[in-house]
Structure 1
Amino acid sequence: MSERREQREPGRDERDQHRDQDQGRGREHTDGPDGGYRARFRVWRGDTGGGALEDFTVEVNEGEVVLDIIHRLQATQAPDLAVRWNCKAGKCGSCSAEINGRPRLLCMTRMSVFDRAETVTVTPLRAFPVLRDLVTDVGYNYTKAREIPAFVPPEGLAPGEYRMAQEDVGRSQEFRKCIECFLCQNTCHVVRDHEENKTAFAGPRYLMRIAELDMHPLDSAGEQGLDRQATAQDEHGLGYCNITKCCTEVCPEGIKITDNALIPMKERVADRRYDPLVWLGSRIRRRRG
């Protein structure tokens, strides 16, 4: 993994050289008659055995997104370039990658946000093993998803008989906007920079799922002997999160993962473990039970 990162991430001298070339050759990026221009792209090519960045010059038309340019490269210069995508509407989360080092959706990143003279660098998600080119193995996320117990419906109520306050509906609905793009998982430094943490850390996406279930007024997990707060801390690594909010910053759906899910969950866990009144109350309830 470290070799792959070293190969695809140019050093400062190389970046400065490309920047100087961009500044000196800016005249090449003039508007065409239809508003198009030619842009320079650097795309990581390789597989599990390693790879490197490859340079391309490609046509860009007005209103296009980065995924359009990747498709044009496939059609004109690199027919074997591998990229994962599906809806091209920012709803499936398939086309996750890193653009100029920032985790983004290829289909939601417009070319207009870049200076026409700069080189746009596209690399695969850094936190996950590369399969080929821009496609990574995100199986880690599905493994973590299966480890989280599902919603436990209340006894005595059939589907369709559930009733919730609108405030509770709105709070859970924010978290259900997640499109499983795994950008938050990729940018979380606990996963990104420490491979050894993956076995003990679910990541922000799935800690958010636990928090959603824990605050759900109809979830009866506690009555079935499942303590979601305890499992979040002891089994899914809630304590590893140090709330840097990097996961929130890259979320394409604007979910406030840190403020509305992770911090409240941490507060509930801390109150339960370290607040003497909360601790005493839990002991009294347990004795009465």
Structure 2
Amino acid sequence: MSNLTTFRVWRGDAEGGRFTTYEVEVNEGEVVLDIVHRLQATQAPDLAVRWNCKAGKCGSCSAEINGRPRLMCMTRMSTLPPGESVTLTPMRTFPVIRDLVTDVSFNYAKAREVPAFVPPPGLAPGEYRMAQEDVARSQEFRKCIECFLCQDVCHVVRDHEENKPVYAGPRFLMRVAELDMHPLDAADDTGLDRSRSAQDDHGLGYCNITRCCTDVCPEHITITENALIPLKERAADRKYDPLVWLGSKISRRRPD
């Protein structure tokens, strides 16, 4: 069973653009990316779109569908309001390259600013041991597919371009949180306080936990409650709690 649906697709580049309207066939069970491919095959061969796996695992086909950041390959047409036109636009937070393709290099720059995992001293790869509870806690964050929908929807950078130099965004604050709670990360031994760094270097204080990042995550990662709020609590403790501050000044006793 098929029907004709109106699609309003933003066409343009960094210099500007406009919406172009298409009437396109939609079949039962199809996703938005199927329709975009049909448009390319039948009406708009020069339509630029980024995609790869079409299975919700590469994060490439991020766009805004009816104003909501989503993966086109995971948005079924049957979940959209029936009988209404569908509006496709590129992610608003990032500069447009052409049509639905945006320049997401901001995110890779922020990724490079997060200090990597620090291996525990005296242990070689293959000798690491962790409790299953600790594995499960950090494993949630490793489900991230780098779609950057959480970055796109975060109003701290979506509505305030001036914040981009000082704010990493939820995806990379989540990475800091993952490392900060990792029981084998030896960053403290190098003088790196990840919680303090999140506040001072990655703009944690700009986040006001509106939960919009969690709401759009296609992997259902609880970014706000499981990563950002605990990270904020640890950062506040280490900066303002006098007992925590004192404890950080006392050298750990090491076995002889």
Q: Which TM-score tier does this pair reach, normalised by the shorter chain? A: over 0.9
Q: Which has the larger radius of gyration?
A: 1
Taking only aligned residues, the RMSD between alpha carbons, in angstroms, comes to 1.3
d(CA) in 1 for partners of 2:82, 2:109: 41
Shift of 1:58: 0.1
Check if 1:81 corresponds to 2:44.
Answer: no
In 1, Cα distance between the equivalents of 2:155 and 2:135?
31
Question: In structure 1, what residue type is equivalent to 2:134?
Answer: D
The aligned residue for residue 147 of structure 2 is 181
Q: In structure 2, what is the equivalent of residue 60 of structure 1?
A: 26
CA contact 2:196–2:238 (8 Å) conserved in 1? no
From 229, 234, 240, the counterpart of 1:268: 234
Contact kept? 1:98, 1:123, Cα under 8 Å: yes
Is residue 232 from structure 1 mapped to residue 232 from structure 2 by the alignment?
A: no
SS in 1 for 2:7: strand
Tell me the residue number matched to 2:207: 241
**1-structure distance, mates of 2:94, 2:188:** 34
SS in 2 for 1:63: coil
1:143 and 2:109 correspond: yes
1:111 aligned residue: 77
Return the TM-score normalized by structure 1: 0.86
Among candidates 12, 16, 22, match of residue 46 of structure 1: 12
SS of 2:17's equivalent in the other structure is strand
Report 1:201-220 matches (<5 A): 201-220=167-186
Query: SS of the counterpart of 2:40?
Result: helix
For structure 2, the 5+ residue unaligned runs are none
Distance, in Å, in 2 between the alignment partners of 1:97 and 1:90 is 13
Would you say 1:155 and 2:121 are equivalent positions? yes
The alignment partner of 1:168 has SS state of helix
1:164 counterpart letter in structure 2? M
Shift of 1:287: 10
Q: In the alignment, which residue of structure 1 is the partner of 2:134? A: 168
Give the aligned residue type for 2:68: R
Counterpart Cα distance in 1 of 2:252 and 2:226: 33
Say whether the 8 Å CA contact 1:39–1:116 is kept in structure 2. no
Amino acid at match of 2:206: Y
Distance 2:155 2:32 in 1: 25
Query: In structure 2, how many angstroms separate the alpha carbons of the residues matched to 1:150 and 1:288?
Result: 25
Q: TM-score, normalised by structure 2?
A: 0.97
- How far did residue 226 of structure 1 move? 1.5
Indicate whether 1:102 and 2:71 are aligned. Answer: no
- SS of corresponding position for 1:57: strand
The corresponding residue for 2:3 is: 37
Q: Does 1:253 align with 2:233?
A: no
The SS at the match of 1:156 is: coil
Amino acid at match of 1:205: R
Q: Percent identity?
A: 77
- For the residue of structure 2 that corresponds to 1:217, the secondary structure is coil
Shift of 1:288: 8.6
Q: For the residues of structure 2 that align with 1:63 and 1:197, how far apart are their CA atoms?
A: 41
Amino acid of the structure 2 residue aligned with 1:102: R
